């Protein structure tokens, strides 16, 4: 699914002379983030801390992700907003008795609190094949790496998750979509378990006018109602209060509909769950890094992942999963 790209040599990766306009990839002055821009204007920005996507804009410059105004982007704590990557545990860690492998970790694991290495870029010609890439130049892929030997690995991981692993995380920007994918390889001599989730904060205009489709008849765990298992009876789910549900939908896209028009569709590859989350007013008020406090009206988390059960990865094997978010305009 994911190519392992070589490390780039120059700090700024420019287009090859003589070719039509190509996507550009640049680094911030402090080397804390990477930005890719298509010739048509679409862009994505990734913070190396957590390999967190913190911006995704269409050709008109309209932001598609919600990031809290109080989010820290200096590497001091995980980012509230964008697309944080959850691995190897989702939510608060279980007890030692429930799952000793992850009991000592912090909420949502260490992928979002480690500094990743930028491995390189691929552009349209290599992604789309001869001919097509040479004419539309409509995609760029950024690869990031984190392993048990990485200097940027959260110290907590070394102390509490002493397994050998290698993660490759890829962010693929095209004119109408954004794909994030992960390959988690077990380099140890024994199996380990993991959760994987892409905690995507989509920007919406008014949560009160949003409907979610693609979840009809799906079973879900309602974390707001004592983790009861329920079945979604509505073909169009609306958000009217604090919502925290882990769905196990059938194959097919989950769509966000605003004022009767589909604005996003989210498809999954080898990810069995979709978490739908919105903190609503009271919970947002109690989160120190959530701002503005009424920001819940302009965000909706649609989070593809595999978190309802543990994914057991045998020695030498790998778990792969991906999401694609498509913009409908």
Q: What is the pLDDT of residues 138-164, one digit of tens each?
A: 899 999 999 999 999 999 898 999 999
Burial (CB count within 10 angstroms: exposed 0-12, middle 13-18, buried 19+), residue 130: exposed
- pLDDT tens column, 238-291: 999 999 999 998 889 999 999 999 999 999 999 999 999 999 999 999 999 999
**E strands, 227-313, where?**
228-231, 237-238, 243-248, 254-258, 261-269, 273-278, 299-313
Q: Supply the pLDDT for residue 3.
A: 46
Low-confidence residues of the chain: pLDDT under 70: 1-19, 124-137
pLDDT value at residue 129: 47
Structural tokens at position 96:
């030692």
> What pLDDT does residue 250 have?
80
pLDDT of residue 165: 98
Domains and CATH numbers, the chain: 24-203+301-327 (2.70.98.10)
State percent of the chain over pLDDT 90. Answer: 86
pLDDT at position 313 is 98
| Cβ contact 257:293 at 8 Å | no
pLDDT of residue 9: 42
Using CA of residue 158, residue 160, residue 166, residue 172, what is the dihedral sign?
negative
* Residues annotated in a binding site for substrate: 80, 107, 112
SS3 at position 142: strand
Q: Please list the residues that pair with 160 across neighbouring strands.
A: none
Burial letters for 237-264: b for 16+ Cβ neighbours within 10 Å, e otherwise?
A: bebeebbbbbbebeeebbbbbbeeebbb
Residues designated catalytic: 199, 303
What pLDDT does residue 133 have? 40
Instruction: Specify binding-site residues.
Output: 80, 107, 112
The CA angle 175-178-180, to the nearest 5 degrees, is: 150
For tokens 């480690």, name the residue: 114
pLDDT of residue 2: 45
Say if CB 184 and CB 319 are below 8 A apart: yes
């Amino acid at each position: 699914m994911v190519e392992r790209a070589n490390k780039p040599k120059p700090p700024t990766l420019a287009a090859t002379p003589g070719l039509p306009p190509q996507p550009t990839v640049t680094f911030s002055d402090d080397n804390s983030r990477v930005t890719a821009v298509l010739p048509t204007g679409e862009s994505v920005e990734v913070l190396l801390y957590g390999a967190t996507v913190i911006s995704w804009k269409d050709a008109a410059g309209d932001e598609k992700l919600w990031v809290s105004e109080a989010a820290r982007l200096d590497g001091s704590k995980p980012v509230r907003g964008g697309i944080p990557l959850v691995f190897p545990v989702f939510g608060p860690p279980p007890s030692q008795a429930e799952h000793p492998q992850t009991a000592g970790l912090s909420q949502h694991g260490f992928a979002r609190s480690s500094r990743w290495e930028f491995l390189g870029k691929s552009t349209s010609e290599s992604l789309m094949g001869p001919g097509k890439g040479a004419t539309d130049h409509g995609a760029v892929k950024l690869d990031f790496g984190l392993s048990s030997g990485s200097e940027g690995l959260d110290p907590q991981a070394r102390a509490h998750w002493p397994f050998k692993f290698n993660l490759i995380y890829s962010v693929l920007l095209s004119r109408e979509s954004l794909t994030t994918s992960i390959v988690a390889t077990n380099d140890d001599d024994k199996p380990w378990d993991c959760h994987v989730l892409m905690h995507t904060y989509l920007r919406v205009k008014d949560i009160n006018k949003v409907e979610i489709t693609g979840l009809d008849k799906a079973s879900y765990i309602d974390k707001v109602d004592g983790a009861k298992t329920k079945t979604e009876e509505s073909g169009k789910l609306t958000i009217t209060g604090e919502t925290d549900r882990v769905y196990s939908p059938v194959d097919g896209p989950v769509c966000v509909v605003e004022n009767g028009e589909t604005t996003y569709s989210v498809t999954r590859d080898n990810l069995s769950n979709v978490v739908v989350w919105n903190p609503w007013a009271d919970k947002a008020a109690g989160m120190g890094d959530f701002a503005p406090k009424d920001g819940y009206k302009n965000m909706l988390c649609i989070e593809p992942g595999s978190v309802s059960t543990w994914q057991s990865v045998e020695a030498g094997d790998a778990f792969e999963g991906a999401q694609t978010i498509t913009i409908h305009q």
